């Protein structure tokens, strides 16, 4: 569902809204234009927001941000 949401988004506002409720979308501090979106438990989709006006994202990862170094799944 989150990947579908990322694909359909056309702006930062689209990424923040979805299915009648606010998405858990947060900028990652110290990482410039990198964001995280809650999946479940400790797992987050992390991505780089290349253009806030168009919603273009890249470098999408699935990570457990609560593990040292952020355990990644590709």
pTM equals: 0.73
- What is the per-residue pLDDT for 59? 93
Q: Which domain holds residue 29?
A: 2-68
| 57: in domain | yes
Query: Cβ atoms within 10 A of the Cβ of 8, count?
Result: 11
| 23: in domain | yes
**What's the total number of domains in the chain?**
1
| 25: in domain | yes
25-27, strands of its sheet edge to edge: 25-27, 34-40, 43-51, 56-64, 71-73
Beta-bridged to residue 40, according to DSSP, are 43
In sequence order, the 6+-apart residues with CB closer than 8 A to the CB of 63 are 36, 43, 44, 45, 46, 70, 71, 72, 73
DSSP, res 38: E
Predicted confidence pLDDT, tens digits, the chain (74 residues): 677 777 787 887 877 776 545 557 888 888 889 998 888 888 888 999 998 888 888 999 998 877 776 655 54
| 73: in domain | no
């Amino acid at each position: 569902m989150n990947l579908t949401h990322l694909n359909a988004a056309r702006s930062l506002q689209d990424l923040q809204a979805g299915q009648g409720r606010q998405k858990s979308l947060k900028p990652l501090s110290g990482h410039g234009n990198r964001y995280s979106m809650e999946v479940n438990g400790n797992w987050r989709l992390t991505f780089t927001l290349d253009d806030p006006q168009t919603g273009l994202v890249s470098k999408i990862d699935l990570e457990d941000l609560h593990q040292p170094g952020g355990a990644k799944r590709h």
